[in-house]
């Protein structure tokens, strides 16, 4: 029940809808939804299906939510498409899921203390491509060593770190808010 409660709360927060509005859309009482979010209710399959529709997510996201994963694409790897007219290659690193919002940053960091970040809002995924230098980037408990051109994605809603291992380290960072 704790997983379902956390999933309902996470998805409602993601949509920005009030308890009242989600309950109305799902055709259930606001008190029932409140109990479900607090882990004290016992939802039926029908109630969870209705909540999934109201929140715009599959039923499975409420009972077995997707698990954030760390993904690394090394320089020279990934699905590459070449141009016929120019010396140009596009490598897809990550596609944008429906309803996502993204912020893009250029990061400049020097060796010394690592940048340790507290979790961002639920559902945040960070993507980084190391441009120059050498760094450890990713989940605080399992950062990956990256070299120029390497790509990583990891859950931004969990503690994470960025530590320069060489002077003049820089990266392009994309924060995806779902």
pLDDT tens sequence across 21-76: 999 999 999 999 999 999 898 888 888 889 988 998 877 778 876 677 888 988 87
Q: Calculate the alpha carbon distances from 173 to 57, 102, 120, 137, 140 in Å.
A: 27, 10, 14, 11, 17
Looking at 4-8, 72-76, 78-82, which range is the least confident one?
A: 78-82
Instruction: Give the whole-angstrom CA distance, residue 93 versus residue 40.
Output: 41
Q: Do the beta carbons of residue 51 and residue 8 sit within 8 Å?
A: yes
Report how far residue 126's alpha carbon sits from residue 70's, in angstroms, rounded to the nearest whole number: 10
Q: How many CA atoms lie within 13 A of 48 on its CB side?
A: 18
Checking phi first, is residue 169 left (phi over 0); if not, alpha (psi -120 to 50) or beta? Answer: beta
Q: What CA–CA distance (Å, rounded) separates 54 from 46?
A: 12
Using CA atoms, how far apart are residues 82 and 13, in angstroms rounded to an integer?
Answer: 41
| Residue range 77-105: mean pLDDT, rounded | 73
Going by pLDDT thresholds of 50, 70 and 90, the confidence category of residue 86 is low
Tokens 């969870």 correspond to 48
The residue with tokens 């429906």 is: 98
Cα separation, 178 vs 12, in Å, equals: 12
For 99-139, how does the pLDDT look when each residue is reduced to its tens digit (9 = 90+)?
668 888 889 899 988 888 888 888 889 999 999 999 999 99
Taking a C-beta distance cutoff of 8 angstroms, is the pair 16, 55 a contact? no
Three-state SS at 29: coil
- Nearest partner of 67 among 147, 139, 162, 168, judged by Cα: 139
pLDDT of res. 117:
87
């Amino acid at each position: 029940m704790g997983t379902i409660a956390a999933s309902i709360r996470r998805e409602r927060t993601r949509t920005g809808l009030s308890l009242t509005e989600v309950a109305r859309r799902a055709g259930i009482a606001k008190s029932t939804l409140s109990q479900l979010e607090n882990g004290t209710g016992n939802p039926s399959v029908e109630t969870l299906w209705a909540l999934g529709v109201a929140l715009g997510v599959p039923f499975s996201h409420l009972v077995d939510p997707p698990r954030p994963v760390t993904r690394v694409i090394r320089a020279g790897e990934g699905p590459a498409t070449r141009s016929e007219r120019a010396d140009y290659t596009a490598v897809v690193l990550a596609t944008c899921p429906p309803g996502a919002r993204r912020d893009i940053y250029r990061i400049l960091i020097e060796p010394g203390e690592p940048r340790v970040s507290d979790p961002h809002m639920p559902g945040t995924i960070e993507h980084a491509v190391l441009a120059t230098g050498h760094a450890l980037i990713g989940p605080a408990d399992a950062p990956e060593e990256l070299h120029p051109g390497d790509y990583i994605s990891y859950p931004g809603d969990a503690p994470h770190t960025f530590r320069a291992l060489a002077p003049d380290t820089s990266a392009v960072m994309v924060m995806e808010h779902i």
